[in-house]
Amino acid sequence: METSITHRVLLRDVNYLGTLFGGRLLEWMDGAAEIAAARYVRRVVVTVAMEQVVFTQPVRVGDLVRIEAAINGIGRTSLGCT
């Protein structure tokens, strides 16, 4: 299962430097992963962990952010998403 979500960065999404809050991006990523996982298992899912996120460049007001999520691992009681 795959999903793609696009967000426009608005004033409410940025810090005093005018760049996207890292926590907001993590929220959007988590939402995309939840949709992909829930579609796959057809049940309620929760996020247990995110291994590593590295922010490499700023995202500014008005920018579009496209987030793609896909299932990349299936266990007995867990799924992995990228």
Which domains, from first to last, does the chain contain? 2-81 (3.10.129.10)
Q: Closest by alpha carbon to 29, among 71, 79, 75, 65?
A: 65
Whether residue 81 contacts residue 47, with contact meaning beta carbons closer than 8 Å, is answered with no
Query: What are the structure tokens assigned to 35, written together?
Result: 């949709």
Give mean pLDDT, residues 27-56: 92
pLDDT computed for residue 74 by the predictor: 85
Reply yes or no on whether the pLDDT at 1 is more than 80: no
Kindly report whether the global pTM for this prediction surpasses the value 0.85.
yes
CA dihedral 55, 39, 6, 18 (to 10 degrees): -40
Reply yes or no on whether the pLDDT at 50 is more than 80: yes
Give mean pLDDT, residues 18-30: 96
Separation CA 75–CA 59 (nearest Å): 34
